[in-house]
Amino acid sequence: MKLIAQTTGVSSGISGSIFQGSLFDLIQMAKRQFSVICGPAILFIVLELIDGILTMWATQNGFVEVNPLVSPYSQTWLCPASKVATAMLGSIVLLPAVRRHSRLIKAGFILASLFIAVIILSNLYEIVLAA
């Protein structure tokens, strides 16, 4: 019963107080857990932005977007905006799970970032070959 009171900041009724000061501890714990995935999440979002801008530039210069979901708007600013928006939405959706699965989520962001980095490098290689 005491453990529940400490983690939620609500008294169990035994001590008689409603707030025991552990809300600050809970906020600090959330900040520490979020900081574990903050770097990989920001890296993933930035790489998505780079991929979107590179895709937009490439399609404006004669390259073809092979993704049928992105190709209709690949020549506009909607391309990088949609890539960043989906990356941010995915990051926000995962926030509640950080408390229990921070290592798994961090690894997922790192793997997704590596995947996007490989795609960016592959696209840059194709652009250099065509030049």
Identify the residue with better confidence: 109 or 18: 109
Mind listing the pLDDT tens digit for each residue in 33-53?
A: 677 788 899 999 999 999 999
pLDDT in tens, 82-125: 999 999 998 888 887 887 888 899 999 999 999 999 999 999 99
Is 73 in contact with 82 (CB distance < 8 Å)? yes
Owner of token pair 């073809």: 64
